[in-house]
Amino acid sequence: MGKFGRKIVFMVATVFFLFGIVFCFGEDKNKTSAPAFSGKDILGKKEITLKQYTNKVILLNFWATWCPPCRAEIPDLIELFKKYKKNFMVIGVSLDQEGPEVVKKFYLDHNMNYPVIMGTQNIVSSYGGISAIPTSFIINKKGEIVKKILGFRNKKQYEEEIKPYLSE
C-alpha cells in the first residue's frame, strides 16, 4: 500500500473513531440532568421536588418580587400553566432576600397558580449560579435541562420553547 493508500486508511479510521465517540459518549444523560432539589412551597402546604413532576415538562423560573421583568412574566406563566397543566409544570424559585412572607403576600395578591419555593444557595449553585433574573430552565419529561433562558419572555415565546417537548 502506497503513501496515498495509508492516508485514506488513516482518514477512514479517524472518521470511524470520531463517530464512535459521538455515538457512544455524545449522549451523556448525566451532563444535562436537572439537579434535584426540594423546598417547602410558599404557602407552607407541601414539599416541592422535581421528582414529583416526572413525565411533565417543567419551566423552572428563578425570579424575585422586586424585579420588573420577573413581575411582567407572571401573568403569562399563569396562563401557560392553565393551558398546558396536563403535561406541564411551572415551578417558581424566589430569590427575594426579604423572606417568605413578602413572597407569600405577592403570590396571593397576584393569584399565582403554580408552586413557588424560596431559593437557597444550594439550589442556585446546583443550577450553575444565577447571574440575572429572570432566568428559566426548560426541563424535558426525562428530567434533562434542554434550555436555559436569560431574561424576560412573553407567553408566545415560552410557548414556542416548550411545545416541542410537550409531545415527547
pLDDT tens digit sequence for 106-145: 999 999 999 999 999 999 999 999 999 999 999 999 999 9
Cβ atoms 60, 146 nearer than 8 A: no
Whether residue 53 sits in one domain with residue 16: no
Count up the domains in the chain and report the number: 2
Whether residue 155 sits in one domain with residue 120: yes
Whether residue 135 sits in one domain with residue 100: yes
Residue 23 has a pLDDT of 34
pTM of the model: 0.81
pLDDT tens digit sequence for 64-96: 999 999 999 999 999 999 999 999 999 999 999
Strands in the chain per DSSP E: 38-40, 47-49, 57-63, 88-94, 116-118, 135-139, 145-150
Whether residue 61 sits in one domain with residue 9: no
What is the residue-averaged pLDDT of the chain? 86
CATH number, domain of 135, equals: 3.40.30.10
CA atoms within 13 A on the CB side of 1: 7
Predicted confidence band of residue 1 (pLDDT cuts 50, 70, 90) = low
Whether residue 46 sits in one domain with residue 14: no
Characterize the bridge pairing of strands 116-118 and 88-94. parallel
In the β-sheet with 135-139, what is the strand arrangement from edge to edge? 116-118, 88-94, 57-63, 135-139, 145-150
